[in-house]
A and B are shown apart, each in its own frame.
Chain A
């Protein structure tokens, strides 16, 4: 940065207001103007928190002359990070148009990203020894890594089953497949790491706990032997880095003759309600130098990610942490004006969240939080909150689809993408999105549902996988011996799809047949091909796949398949090698890895289409989304279906509870598992309901509406009768 380029905060605010065309609220201004010291911005839905975050970051760079490199700004997804980066850059452009002297500030130098990406970058930049030449495994590959490498002894299985029964669903112990054990370990170990449990204390407890702690050590050792790391270990390494001399140099800054590495001076954290304990420890370490400029932004009522280790209690207890850690009071600013929703929707949300006893428990919400204030005009001639009921789900779905078709037909909305259907799960099964998707289709409404879990059902996917399997395991010799009937059935259906296709696709068939015989003709132990991925491309070079690649959706699926294989190649090998024991077949290790590992994982979890980073919903399509997917989004019309579900603690609540005695830092509250389950379920509904701008429509059956407030979190503390009485029926 060159020269003394700065403007006043009022000048900054003036430019922003002129650009937006509306004034900032006094609280928003206060959040931008706050000086040094910890700050909590508690922002309800639609309160304009991103704008505040953007302007606060710019205020630091443009008014206080903080070097952009001294600012760390984290958010929840890469997409959100890019969005923030863009908004900062664009607002900066508007500022420079008026205040030329700001042009030398390069806002792209600020560290903006997910916490994981920033940790990874900094560790590499500072060449932290424990992270040199380490490969970061993504979630899917880390699971495959565990599947391949972890050898679970009986005592480990006893420990997992004894301690964390809930992670196995209803499986009896002797029926648990290998993936079941791997998933259980993945969930529980990452939770233990993220909760910063004291493994020493755990070992001292002996028995199952000792075995579990040892298993975690085995896993760490395997990772280090294989020069690998996963997302959780990355955070642990980063925490260790911050406490090392290199970490001190990072925090305090250093100057080399050619480059200045400025100190870390400001930490801004978006979506703090979904932070976990280890992340909290990282933020507190990043801000450990006085005056502790850590600014957190979020809404405790919108926490959604306990199942991934998130701990809303970090947000609820942030002010206390500042006090206990630094003896420094934290300023809390509430952004309660809601600029998104119709006043009746705001009122509905306010009533909803307060109506449950579970939300009134101490520590469930930030104490003294004001209600949302409706601050936007969304008309008054229509029912902003309404419900649609039917005898069966199919009835509900049919009325819903008719309504969707008609509001588009009659110009209430211009495009389907202005609406959304929110569900707990978007899988197109009868209990989830299935009936709604069917109804929309029968009303000729095009659907966008990337999380339908139906990736593996797509024609091109099955044909392609079938062709590949027919090359590497002709006649399914190895597959036939699989111990898992589900995996075998899946593979057989792929080959079935391919065989059907092969009747007409002669050139493809000839390639597959020749290839299969070429492999069978090889000697034991021979290398057939240095990279099996080339076979994928040779299959793709034949019709009908060449044609499929002209179709955007199909092309994306085929592309995803090539990436899907990458995690497998990195774990099981890229070259195709003949078995050393059996005649005319490929290595059993490799094929079994393919079947049990890769296919097993897919059959278990289902595969989803990729979501585009750039468009939320393609025009012309009606989106079906999970509530999690809709986080941070808003729609003119929001339909919420499959209401009235019962509330019971899930595996994540149970695991959190079991690990609680070993937590070395006391962030988590002491709610019972039932309370936690209720609170999470209530927050989930609150997020769904608060996405709506003009209209919120609840879709429920008569039976669902008969549920009481003590049975379901869908309808507020007074249950379905409240909806029937107070919410207009369409």
Chain B
């Protein structure tokens, strides 16, 4: 029967390479933290068991986003230019919490209390000077890098204080639901790196770099006493320097090619540096992780 077709010889076509999207936090930082874990969840698409961990970060970001919208006059019934009260924060907190609960994502009383406390403190301490300067929140920025698309979400764009009128200076704010890491911690460099990449994304969109980036560590506001002034450790100011930005982008691209090569071979190598201990402690792969064992991190099988 095949002889009917003996006059044709058809070569298989090769498909064009695909261009993938890479996010600073969800891809690059996650891969840098632990390439194995990234392979498991991001590439092989296993579903993490402990969705609970996202409660804190989500609540912090979404409540603050509402606080900004409140001041900006975007929330019905709230006057433009008014600061959210503690009761308003309570209300926004509950809205966000309800939505998370509907996904069965819950947090312990202690965690909820802490989140609410730092949010109220932030609102009272920073709100009066920050909110009026806010230009935009939750900005999605992205850019085409020829072989991949790079994207990220900036929490806040604010006018830089003290810049002479007419010279527009814009700074980037990023909220972290943690304490400030020590200088030596790998997180520290990662945060700085993240800000440099945001700076580049911002420039691609607007033509200029932001004046600086501010990392705000909200958990520095926790504790028994309400701080009267901003604790020194609450912010980390990152200078935006063209050479540093270029380095960050180059390192971003290098990580992307590592990820691509892992994807194509379907082999996920052990992390180059030991991941933070908390990462392993909460990792679903820890029950049988060769890499963790090599780092002398052993986990006894839990029952059930």
Contact = CB atoms under 8 A, between A and B. Distances in A.
A412 B19 CA distance: 32
B142 A108 contact: yes
A127 B144 CA distance: 26
B176 to A, nearest CB: 21
Contacts of B9: 411-412
A339 to B, nearest CB: 15
B301 A410 contact: no
A410 B4 CA distance: 12
Given A127-B74, A518-B304, A559 B45 contact: yes
A381 B204 CA distance: 55
Chain B interface category by residue count? 35 or more
A129 B77 CA distance: 12
Interface stretch (B99-107, B231-239, B242-250): B99-107
Contacts of B129: none
Nearest to A126: B74
Given A566-B47, A574-B52, A534 B103 contact: no
A463 interface: no
A730 B4 CA distance: 8
Contacts of A413: 10, 12
Contacts of A576: 304
Nearest to A610: B45
B303 A695 contact: no
Interface string A203-234: 00000000000000000000000111000000
A125 interface: yes
B170 A541 contact: no
Contacts of A489: none
B301 A511 contact: yes
Contact of B76 (A129, A258, A571): A129
Contacts of B19: 82, 85-86, 89-90
Interface residues of A, number: 95
B110 interface: no
B136 A258 contact: yes
Given A515-B304, A541-B288, A133 B49 contact: no
A257 B18 contact: no
A533 B304 CA distance: 11
Interface in A72-109: 82, 85-86, 89-90, 92-93, 106-109
A382 B47 contact: no
B188 interface: no
Contacts of A563: 45-47
Interface string A544-585: 001000001001101110110110011111101000000000
A716 B227 CA distance: 81
Nearest to A69: B205
Interface in B106-126: none
Interface stretch (A166-174, A523-531, A623-631): A523-531
B51 A399 contact: no
A397 interface: no
Per CB-CB distance, the 7 closest pairs between chain A and chain B, nearest first, are A533-B49, A381-B7, A515-B304, A133-B99, A406-B2, A541-B287, A258-B135
Interface of A: 2, 82, 85-86, 89-90, 92-93, 106-109, 121, 125, 127, 129, 132-135, 226-228, 256-259, 379, 381-383, 386, 388, 399, 402-403, 406-407, 409-415, 417-418, 471, 511, 514-516, 518-519, 528-538, 540-542, 546, 552, 555-556, 558-560, 562-563, 565-566, 569-574, 576, 614-616, 619, 636, 694-695, 728, 730
28 contacts: A85-B149, A106-B204, A108-B149, A125-B138, A125-B140, A127-B74, A133-B98, A133-B99, A135-B99, A226-B102, A256-B135, A258-B168, A407-B2, A412-B2, A413-B12, A471-B304, A514-B303, A515-B303, A518-B303, A519-B304, A532-B49, A533-B48, A534-B302, A541-B301, A566-B47, A574-B104, A730-B1, A730-B4
